[in-house]
């Protein structure tokens, strides 16, 4: 058995999932986003160059997540984050449109393999509690001498709480939106697998917490410090 790396968009916490399969498979994104947009209720991820967030991963302080540039791709403007040393994930960017927050990951090339990126809607800040949206795309990894293999990735996101209060590392955040995301991955030679994640966004602060549950393992990231410009 060999492993396929499914590069997932876990907020910008630079996380990656490993899916066990009987063969190596490639990934190419055909993106289907349930868009539309609405009237934004505030800024739940402030975007400006040099904005910076530092998180604790299971209690350990991590390298900072910092916006380092603003880039135009197609007709859209994205804010690009720094790459974390040793991370398996690719360049990640964010853009906002009418209360929709898009997270984009570029292709990743490592040790003779290329994995295609993706773009998903991470937050719809105008939806009421119980509101949902769906994302789906195909991710393909290509190895030298092996035909490309695709994985189907689908995500259902739900607003769990709004205007909540959350205390983290001695600081209280108000006007918090909590989201639940269930991501399901399937492929021809890979069994279906699901990951459940929870995200908390504080108004005028950005992401303040994320938990990820996969194969009975839970990781938690909480905001330690931040700087906005």
The answer to whether residue 14 scores a pLDDT higher than 60 is: no
Domain ranges of the chain: 2-227
Rounded Cα distance, 22 and 167, in Å: 44
Phi, psi values for residue 51, rounded to 5°: -60, 140
Tell me which long-range contacts 61-68 makes (C-beta under 8 A, separation of at least 24).
61/224, 62/221, 65/12, 65/13, 65/14
Q: Of the spans 101-115, 177-191, 193-207, 212-226, which averages the highest pLDDT?
A: 193-207
Q: Which fold has domain 2-227?
A: YmcC-like fold (2.40.360)
pLDDT tens digits, one per residue of 117-174: 889 999 999 999 999 999 999 988 888 877 888 889 999 999 999 999 999 989 999 9
């Amino acid at each position: 058995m060999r492993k396929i790396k499914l590069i997932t968009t876990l907020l910008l916490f630079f996380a990656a999932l490993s899916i066990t399969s009987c063969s190596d498979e490639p990934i190419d994104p055909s993106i289907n986003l349930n868009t539309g947009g609405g009237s934004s209720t505030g800024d739940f991820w402030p975007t400006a160059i040099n904005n910076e967030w530092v998180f604790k991963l299971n209690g350990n302080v991590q390298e900072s997540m910092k916006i380092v540039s603003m880039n135009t791709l197609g007709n859209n403007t994205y804010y690009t984050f720094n790459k974390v040393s040793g991370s398996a994930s690719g360049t990640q960017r964010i853009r906002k449109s009418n209360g929709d927050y898009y997270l984009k990951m570029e292709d990743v090339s490592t040790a003779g393999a290329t994995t295609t990126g993706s773009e998903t809607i991470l937050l719809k800040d105008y939806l009421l509690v119980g509101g949902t949206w769906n994302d789906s795309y195909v991710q393909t990894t290509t190895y030298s001498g092996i035909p490309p293999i695709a994985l189907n990735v689908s995500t259902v996101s739900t607003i769990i709480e709004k205007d909540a209060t959350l205390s983290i590392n001695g600081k209280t955040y108000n006007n918090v939106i909590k989201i639940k995301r269930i991501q399901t991955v399937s492929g021809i030679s890979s069994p279906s697998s699901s990951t459940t994640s929870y995200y908390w966004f504080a108004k005028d602060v950005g992401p303040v917490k994320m938990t990820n549950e996969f194969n009975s393992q839970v990781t938690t990231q909480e905001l330690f410090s931040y700087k906005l410009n």
